Amino acid sequence: ILNVEQSPQSLHVQEGDSTNFTCSFPSSNFYALHWYRWETAKSPEALFVMTLNGDEKKKGRISATLNTKEGYSYLYIKGSQPEDSATYLCAFLPYGQNFVFGPGTRLSVLP
């Protein structure tokens, strides 16, 4: 059974703070990594699809990096806003297999 971990489990930050969290996955047989944002009462929405070691993706104030050799990805949020409050999920896709989701990091941004 593949293990995908995310840390921290939850965090609270003040509006304007920058924050980051981690997704750890097996370093062998890597094919892709996805990041999703899941807001309360909504469906998960894709943020990034990452496939190459060293990938850096950016969407507005949110960015992500990928290290497939050591098996981790970081998600960064710059200048957090209350609307960033959500659970952030990573999903690891090994070659020839199906997605394994991490448990998520629950972010609360306090105004």
Partner 1 sequence: SQTIHQWPATLVQPVGSPLSLECTVEGTSNPNLYWYRQAAGRGLQLLFYSVGIGQISSEVPQNLSASRPQDRQFILSSKKLLLSDSGFYLCAWSENLQVNEQFFGPGTRLTVL
Task: Give the range of 19-27, 67-75, 77-85, 86-94 binding partner 1 by CB under 8 A.
Answer: 86-94
Helix (H) or strand (E) holding 42: none
- State the Cα–Cα distance between residues 101 and 9, nearest whole angstrom: 14
Residue 11 binds to partner 1 (criterion: CB under 8 A): no
Contact string 21-60 vs partner 1 (x = CB under 8 A)? ----------xx-x-x------xxxx--x-x---------
Residue 89 binds to partner 1 (criterion: CB under 8 A): yes
Query: How far is C-alpha 31 from the geometric centre of its chain's CA atoms?
Result: 16
CB atoms within 10 A of CB 72: 17
Is beta strand 10-14 parallel, antiparallel or unpaired with respect to 105-110? Answer: parallel
Gyration radius of the chain's alpha carbons: 13
Query: Judged by CB, which is closer to partner 1: 31, or 82?
Result: 31
Q: Which residues bind partner 1 (CB under 8 A)?
A: 31-32, 34, 36, 43-46, 49, 51, 89, 91, 93, 98-104
